Amino acid sequence: MTGHRNRASARAMPLSAPRLAVLALMGLMIATLLAHAARAEDEIIRSHGYSYYGDLSYPPDYEHFSYVNPDAPKGGEISLYAPGTFDSMNPYSRKGRAGTLSWMVYESLLGEMPASGGPAPADVYGEMYGLLAESLEYDAGKTWVIFHMRPEARFADGTPVTAHDVVFSHNLFLEQGLPSYAQAVSRRVKSAEALDDHTVKFTFAEGISRRSLIDQVGSTPVFPKHWYEETGARLDEPRLEAAPGSGPYQVASYDVNRRIIYKRNPDYWGWDLPINQGRHNFDTIRIEYFADDSAAFEAFKAGEYTFRSETNSKKWATGYDFPAVRQGHVKLEELPDGTPPTPNGIVFNLGREVLQDKRVRRAIALAYNFEWTNESLQYGLFEQRHSFVQDTPLQAEGVPEGDELALLESLGDVVPEDMLTEPAVRAHESNGSRLNDRRNLRRAMKLLDEAGWTVGEDGKRRNAKGDLLTLEFPIPSSASATLGAVVESFVSNLKLMGIDARFESIDPSQYTMRNRDRDYDLVFDNYTSFLGAGTGLMQRFGSQEAEFSLFNPAGLASPMVDAIINAALEAETREEEATALTALDRALRYEFFMVPVWYNDSNWVAYWDMYEHPEEMPPYALGVLDFWWFNADKAQALKEAGAL
């Protein structure tokens, strides 16, 4: 009873002036926070486009993107080549081998660039502008978004594109799309509903990053609901019959494993939109298929197709000395590439027990001799790649310091101590005068010994249980001869270490299946570079879908990488985002799930001289199928000269 009376007496005592002031200040702060929260909920942003930070380079009344030629003539044909085979025109199924550009016939609420799949425009990063949607609105907290669609939008069969098609397409991807995509999106998007025929609303989950929500649903391809219901087709099955899209190009014809022809739709609904000015200029896009790159190159020399983006250094250095080049009929250009080079290389399958030991991975990596490979097989035309964002301000350098160090330290035990004190991992150096750098081979064999893989009397490495250290490395038979030579030289060094390494060239369709099933120890593959934060980083590098994500060929699952990606997603300023992405580059290199190889900071292109492009090229796309155009006079001159 005494204690109760004391508590009652304490409550009844008058408050001192300082306590009154503190409580008043706390009340004011709470009221202010509630007011801000209420305003955030009430504040609605309405716009003609979207960027995460709300800043757009092009105003609502923009007439066209700054880099295009708005007066570019329409007409003509451009033809490219594709390697291997195809047996489907459905690009969204795990099964089958989809035809090149088969996804290009579809559009999304916010516009994309043909052939690259990236958001338009190509001169800024992280901005998207309305295509099927003329505008959008969303709350300041990005808990929902409403798209107002263009009533004039039509599929190629003449039926309107409606909000019901958008909702249907969203649900179709969740029910029948790639599992990694479906799981990621279903966790973030709570619902999609058609408010009327041309208004669609998406509501997002609470307690997650606001990144990759509006842009995710805004970039999802829109399919015709009526076609799927009438045909009974599924998104997860390979098929040659393609649903009609709403885009400027539609499938005109195909000859399985030989060619695909796309034609510009003269009745395309969106020709007058600002986003389309100066774009989609060719009447016809033709894709020619060849079994391998050597056959494809000979066909280009003969004019069987007319544009070639070259990636083979030997061909670029020595192959283009043929009559059509000397006579000026074929034009060669090195065009700037402002995007980070693709992080490609020799990827370790971390699902294999033997490759879960980083010492083994480092030993295997030492078999790759970049310097010898570049000089002996690639004519010295490449640079060694070290980073996942090579040659950009996001590339991690030296030891972490400043804001990056503070971020890494804030993540606690998931960040190893040596990553805080050691410089960012760089690719090893080799002696370029000979393939088998003896110093690196000795280092590699010491690492293998330490990992318990010792050499027996037969020169082969085995563990304590007597298991042979065996590695399988498949590549597609359609790959270039240079890639085959690179892999073969790499494997020969592995054998010198006592590793039973097997290099196998297999049919492209079989290779595709093995790649999807992750049926390999080593594979020459790539990840996607990044310049901004988005939940796509989780699909590529995150743990949750690591076992089956097609975008994560190593199966990387790292709590440290997950934590850094989450920090990037939660960044509230561009500066915080850049700090987190630099830390991500450092962490990915530390995890060492890929042997980085070479890169080129230019686009090597060769084409029969009847195409033109803007004088000032945008940094983020070559754009040959987007904003290049056909010169009819030049084409006629080639014909008159007997060149084509």
Angle at 483 between CA 478 and CA 489, to 5 degrees: 135
Structure tokens at 498: 């006592």
Going through 97-188 in order, the beta strands assigned E by DSSP cover 128-129, 133-139, 144-149
420 has a pLDDT exceeding 90 = yes
380 has a pLDDT exceeding 70 = yes
Pairing between β-strand 500-506 and β-strand 470-476 as defined by DSSP bridges: parallel
CA distance 261 to 285: 6
Angle at 421 between CA 420 and CA 425, to 5 degrees: 85
pLDDT digits (tens, 9 = 90+) for 155-207: 999 999 999 999 999 999 999 998 878 888 999 999 999 999 999 999 999 99
Considering the domain boundaries, does residue 447 fall inside one?
no
CA distance 62 to 85: 42
CA nearest to 503, candidates 476, 530, 466 = 476
Query: Using an 8 Å Cβ cutoff, are 343 and 553 in contact?
Result: no
Considering the domain boundaries, does residue 344 fall inside one?
no
User: What's the confidence (pLDDT) of residue 136?
Assistant: 98
CA distance 207 to 221: 27
Query: Using an 8 Å Cβ cutoff, are 196 and 251 in contact?
Result: no
User: What's the confidence (pLDDT) of residue 41?
Assistant: 52
My answer on whether 481 and 565 are in the same domain is yes
My answer on whether 416 and 521 are in the same domain is yes
My answer on whether 523 and 388 are in the same domain is yes
My answer on whether 416 and 517 are in the same domain is yes
CA distance 616 to 613: 9
Q: Return the number of other C-beta atoms located less than 10 Å from residue 467's C-beta.
A: 12
548 has a pLDDT exceeding 90 = no
CA distance 225 to 232: 11
Considering the domain boundaries, does residue 572 fall inside one?
yes
Amino acid at 604: W
My answer on whether 380 and 479 are in the same domain is yes
Considering the domain boundaries, does residue 634 fall inside one?
yes
If 0-12 CB within 10 Å is exposed, 13-18 middle and 19+ buried, where does residue 217 land? buried
User: What's the confidence (pLDDT) of residue 94?
Assistant: 81
My answer on whether 374 and 502 are in the same domain is yes
CA distance 467 to 449: 14
pLDDT digits (tens, 9 = 90+) for 115-170: 554 557 999 988 999 999 999 999 999 999 999 999 999 999 999 999 999 999 99
Considering the domain boundaries, does residue 405 fall inside one?
yes
**Cα separations (Å) of 70 from 111, 247, 613?**
17, 19, 12
20 has a pLDDT exceeding 90 = no
Query: Using an 8 Å Cβ cutoff, are 119 and 219 in contact?
Result: yes
Q: For the ranges 100-114, 145-159, 488-502, which has the lowest average pLDDT?
A: 100-114
**Total domain count, the chain:** 2
Query: Using an 8 Å Cβ cutoff, are 133 and 217 in contact?
Result: no
User: What's the confidence (pLDDT) of residue 589?
Assistant: 98
CA distance 135 to 527: 33
Q: Can you give the pTM of this predicted structure?
A: 0.81
CA distance 567 to 583: 10
36 has a pLDDT exceeding 50 = no
Omega cis (within 30) before 121 = yes
User: What's the confidence (pLDDT) of residue 112?
Assistant: 76
Q: What is the mean pLDDT of residues 260-281?
A: 97
My answer on whether 563 and 635 are in the same domain is no
- Local structure of residue 354 (DSSP, 8 states): G
Pairing between β-strand 189-196 and β-strand 144-149 as defined by DSSP bridges: unpaired
Give the pLDDT band (50/70/90) at residue 582. Answer: very high
My answer on whether 488 and 521 are in the same domain is yes
Q: What is the mean pLDDT of residues 480-493?
A: 94
422 has a pLDDT exceeding 80 = yes
Query: Using an 8 Å Cβ cutoff, are 609 and 633 in contact?
Result: no
Query: Using an 8 Å Cβ cutoff, are 474 and 482 in contact?
Result: no
Considering the domain boundaries, does residue 230 fall inside one?
no
19 has a pLDDT exceeding 70 = no
Q: What percent of the chain has pLDDT over 90?
A: 83
User: What's the confidence (pLDDT) of residue 180?
Assistant: 76
User: What's the confidence (pLDDT) of residue 31?
Assistant: 43
My answer on whether 614 and 485 are in the same domain is no
User: What's the confidence (pLDDT) of residue 539?
Assistant: 87
CATH number of the domain where residue 623 is located: 3.40.190.10
For 158, phi then psi, to 5°, come to: 95, -10
**Cα separations (Å) of 242 from 41, 63, 90, 121, 212?**
42, 33, 6, 27, 28
My answer on whether 554 and 592 are in the same domain is yes
Q: What is the mean pLDDT of residues 44-72?
A: 96
CA nearest to 78, candidates 289, 205, 263 = 263
Q: What is the mean pLDDT of residues 488-498?
A: 97
Q: For the ranges 35-39, 211-215, 261-265, which has the lowest average pLDDT?
A: 35-39
Structure tokens at 644: 């084509």
Burial 427-449 (b: 16+ CB within 10 A, else e): bbebebeebbbeebbeebbebbe
Give the 3-state secondary structure of residue 552: coil
459 has a pLDDT exceeding 70 = yes
User: What's the confidence (pLDDT) of residue 34?
Assistant: 43
User: What's the confidence (pLDDT) of residue 118?
Assistant: 53
CATH number of the domain where residue 389 is located: 3.10.105.10
CA distance 77 to 59: 33
Considering the domain boundaries, does residue 37 fall inside one?
no
My answer on whether 584 and 605 are in the same domain is no
285 has a pLDDT exceeding 90 = yes
CA distance 620 to 118: 9
Give the pLDDT band (50/70/90) at residue 21. Answer: very low
User: What's the confidence (pLDDT) of residue 95?
Assistant: 87
What residues contact residue 145 under an 8 Å CB cut-off, 6+ apart? Answer: 136, 137, 138, 201, 202, 204, 213, 214, 217, 218
Q: What is the mean pLDDT of residues 391-416?
A: 97
My answer on whether 476 and 562 are in the same domain is yes
User: What's the confidence (pLDDT) of residue 534?
Assistant: 87
Pairing between β-strand 598-599 and β-strand 144-149 as defined by DSSP bridges: unpaired
CA distance 393 to 322: 40
Host domain of residue 324: 290-339+601-640
CA nearest to 305, candidates 4, 82, 31, 143 = 82
Considering the domain boundaries, does residue 118 fall inside one?
no
